[in-house]
A and B are shown apart, each in its own frame.
Chain A
């Protein structure tokens, strides 16, 4: 490289070897980058292929409507599915208003002071806390201190705290994307701050907020560790009928089947995973669709 600065221009032959080497290392690097990108995609493909070949044939009405059983042929997902639904419903009821409320406060109300910065730092750090630590929190706080026991509500509250940072971050982004001209227009018509937020900001941000909430709830559907820690059961052969019933959820049932030594149960686990992935796919498509529709309505 330093030879470039000499005054006399050498003949082209001097450069050729280094030119070739530079070009080749460039191509090699490019190949490596393409290969790495493909590896992530190939792994995803292998994972989906492995699970669907193992599990797709397990999934039928029988599988969805039966209770778990010691006999693999009779075993099903019924109690786990219902448990997941109950858990999810209460998680949404708790987490949605709290998360959106916090986002509105931070974007529209919060003064720029140490407390606000502290809250923001807190939310950022909570997003990085391992999920199993939330499980320990739920165990200590809801199961034991509030004496709720190992019930749906304790699981939902734990899960709500876990996904709260996700909802707050997504809602803040949606609220921030609302142009200031709309806010000023609202103020100009004499609206108070809350009227402005409720009638102008929230309708405009609703798409982003809903999308973020659905994605956060999707995360809650797949979480396993915190619910194991608060003591959700692995074997439930009855329907949970309300927030104060003991319960199990889809991923815990899958974990339970994977942990058993018999091969039949491993296919059941794969079947459970197929159901879980279909549920998640539906939730994600719904989020994408909502985002698309809201974007169009605004334009």
Chain B
């Protein structure tokens, strides 16, 4: 049992112990072998429990979200929640139609996708089909830096850098607006889009490329008619995963897109997303336990379901292209 607890500490000494036959002395008593068996069993059980934590986490998420959400739907009919177009749970005249938040979420995600998908895909094509190895090994880590920057930093950048530029071009732009948050979010997602697409492009076998070259195709023709169609399911998976990431992203929209739930597609106006609403309530002084506070669990459940469906779908697509070529 104590072996399990001393796991990190045991590492440095292990290299020398392995080379000493004394560690595995066969002449030790039977008691020793029994002890070893017990340790084995114990360690096995502990490690299994560690792996089980992930299942418990998912269970915890589902129970926490559903528990509050079911109570919420006891007071607000689920149909009103899913089809209502007025979201004013914090006002005196309460209305619980979630569609404005969904609208805001989808519009921001669309802007992000319009930025991330073409740029990300072209970057992936450049890295996998055109760039020499050395340039590739230089560009990739730099793009990964982009992925490692905290989202609160992107939020600052959207509000303090991109929004003023937008306001110079379109004077009617509101301080908090969807366009700025969406564009910056697109660049946040870009590395993920690029790296998953690149994996998909690289999974297309060399023979197919060489066959096309042998027929006299130019590099562009090989890319556009052989490689990209061959990697299509992987690229689609990347797009879906990007959308899922955009929907779940919180800090950029909470900082730069504003807190006004409304319908519509005007990119220069402020809109509130589902995630931004959860932040708004968490920061405010809404008393816990009331219907107003329960709304964040209902919105969270909707968010969880939306991203889960998309993640599963993209997982399915990735598996399909792996099966096709491996």
Q: Which residues on A are within 8 Å of B, measured CB to CB?
A: 22-23, 25-26, 29-30, 32-37, 39-41, 43-44, 46-47, 50-51, 54, 96-102, 104-106, 109-110, 118-119, 122-126, 128-137, 139-141, 144, 161, 164-165, 168, 186, 189-195, 198-200, 202-203, 206, 218-219, 221-225, 228-229, 231, 234, 251, 254-255, 258-259, 266, 269-270, 273, 276-277, 280, 284
Contact = CB atoms under 8 A, between A and B. Distances in A.
A259 B249 CA distance: 18
A68 to B, nearest CB: 15
A136 to B, nearest CB: 5
A199 B152 contact: no
Nearest to A26: B220
Contacts of B159: 258
Give the contact-size bracket for chain B.
35 or more
A198 B7 contact: yes
A136 B151 contact: no
Contacts, number: 289
Nearest to B62: A137
Contact of A43 (B60, B146, B249): B146
Given A30-B130, A136-B297, A258-B155, A130 B58 contact: no
A106 B49 CA distance: 11
Contacts of A35: 122
Nearest to A233: B283
Interface of B: 3, 7-8, 10-12, 14-15, 17-18, 21, 23-24, 26, 36, 39-40, 43-44, 46-55, 57-58, 60-61, 64-65, 67-68, 118-120, 122-123, 125-127, 130-131, 139, 142-143, 145-146, 148-157, 159-161, 187, 190-191, 194, 218-221, 223-224, 241, 244-245, 247-251, 254-255, 275, 278-279, 282-283, 288, 296-297, 300, 303-304, 307-308, 311-312, 315
Contacts of A251: 150, 152, 251
Contact of B39 (A122, A136, A194): A194
Contacts of A229: 278-279, 282, 296
B55 A122 contact: yes
B57 A40 contact: no
Given A128-B311, A224-B150, A273 B282 contact: no
Contacts of B303: 130, 132-133
A135 B279 CA distance: 10
B113 to A, nearest CB: 15
Which applies to chain B's interface (DSSP): helix, strand, loop or mixed? Answer: helix
Given A128-B241, A254-B152, A277-B149, A198 B10 contact: yes
Contact of A200 (B18, B118, B244, B248): B18
A105 B51 contact: yes
A32 B279 contact: no
A36 B119 contact: yes
Residue among A26, A133, A266 with max Cβ neighbours from chain B (10 Å): A133
Given A101-B46, A194-B39, 11 more contacts: A33-B122, A36-B126, A40-B146, A97-B8, A130-B307, A132-B303, A161-B57, A224-B250, A228-B279, A255-B255, A273-B156
